[in-house]
Amino acid sequence: MSWIGKIRRVGRIVEPAPPLPAFAPMTTSATSATSATSATEPGSIDAVVPPTGVTGSLQLRHVDCGSCNGCELEITSAFSSVYDAEQFGARIVASPRHADGLITTGVVTHNMHQPLLNTLNAVPEPRLVIAVGDCAINGGAFKQGYGVVGSVADVIPVDVGVPGCPPTPHQIIAALRTVTGR
């Protein structure tokens, strides 16, 4: 028995997708991350009304604004073959011009303030901003740092916040599913 024959016989084995997160529309499309994460149970994420034309598929440009790379590891895990966020319609793209929104991590440092604004302006309208991790939502442990401008939510409007230090791949995928509806 060859290994290719075994792969053909067995096929792809994955766990069934968990149920969709409960839909709780936000009042505005660009609100602070704190209201985006204020669900009934700690760590849960409310669904958002995505911008017109974004449902079903979401192309995201990742911007590291000055993080410790903990959230990047979890985002990488969420898009790996184990968690496979792409099966729910979310994908990371290399250019902001090809993106429907931004997925941001970390506090905004002085060196990353203007590049974040430039990247946001390069994403075509309608666009979506997802803040991943406590640092991106409220500054976290680095809030009072000398090189810190503030959290992502302080600098640009955030539509979805994913709390945690760092959040798990399941939390990241749940937030993405609230936007894609898949």
Question: Mind listing the pLDDT tens digit for each residue in 99-154?
Answer: 989 999 999 999 999 999 999 999 998 888 999 999 999 988 888 889 999 999 99
Strands (E), 126-177: 128-132, 148-150, 160-162
Q: Which residues of 26-63 are buried (b: 16+ CB within 10 A; e: fewer)?
A: eeeeebbbeebbeeeeeeebbbbbbbeebeeebbbbbb
Alpha carbon distance, N-terminus to C-terminus of the chain: 38
pTM for the model stands at: 0.77
Tracing tokens 């016989």 back to the chain, one arrives at: 9
Which domains, and CATH codes, for the chain? 23-180 (3.40.50.12280)
User: What confidence tens digit (pLDDT) does each residue in 79-95 have?
Assistant: 988 888 888 888 999 99
